[in-house]
Amino acid sequence: MARIRMPTPLRTLTKGKDEVSVHGESVDEILKTLCSEYSGVRERIYDEEGRVRRFVNVFVNDQDIRNLDGLATPVRAYLVAFRPEARELVLSTFIEGVFSWMRDRMGLPRGVRAQGGSVTIVARAGGALNLNPHFHALILDGMFVEDPARREPRFVRMRHASEKDLRALEVSLAFRVF
């Protein structure tokens, strides 16, 4: 669901609301839904040829859609770029997925306490890449497993993963994250 902040002159068309919520995957879908739900908005936003009027500024978060993909700009695609909590959720889902896969590969029973280790950098390189943050993760090739006799952790290496294993992990993580 997208939230649209309405400028003061258009609030009479939205029953005084300064913000409205509508569904849509792209800016175009969102604007069309807005126009269908609030009569009179279409004439104020679009010109006679169906294009967004020049003086109408449409932003996805802080980015003008003229600098993105125009009306085709996908809304959900930029969520991770602009919302730190979404980035954190994607990263934690990814790391938890890798650690779960490692536990399974290592044959660790569910009751055994084990902890993986990782360091991740969220990378942005300026320009268009600011809209596409990506992670560089360094993940240990094993886990710290509690030794029940000593009640202290010891590092246990995971057996080598084949390219096929890693492709299966990739697919699994894609389903978890998206």
How high is the pLDDT of residue 129?
A: 53
How far does Cα 130 stand from its chain's mean position? 13
pLDDT in tens, 6-24: 888 888 998 999 888 888 7
> Please, how many CA atoms are within 13 Å of residue 90, restricted to the half-sphere of its CB?
19
Is residue 87 within 8 Å of 80, Cβ to Cβ? yes
Q: Kindly give, in sequence order, each residue whose CB lies less than 8 Å from that of residue 84, ignoring residues fewer than 6 positions away.
A: none
Provide mean pLDDT across the span 70-91: 76
Phi and psi torsions of 138, nearest 5°: -110, 115
Positive/negative CA dihedral, 156, 159, 164, 168: negative
Q: Which of 84-93, 98-107, 126-135 has the lowest mean pLDDT?
A: 126-135
Q: Which two tokens stand for residue 163?
A: 């390219």
Indicate yes or no: pTM above 0.75. no
pLDDT in tens, 36-58: 999 898 998 888 988 888 877 77
Is residue 158 within 8 Å of 141, Cβ to Cβ? yes
Q: How far apart are CA 132 and CA 135, in angstroms?
A: 10
What stretches of the chain adopt beta strand conformation (E)?
Answer: 2-5, 19-22, 59-60, 63-64, 114-115, 118-123, 134-139, 142-147, 152-157
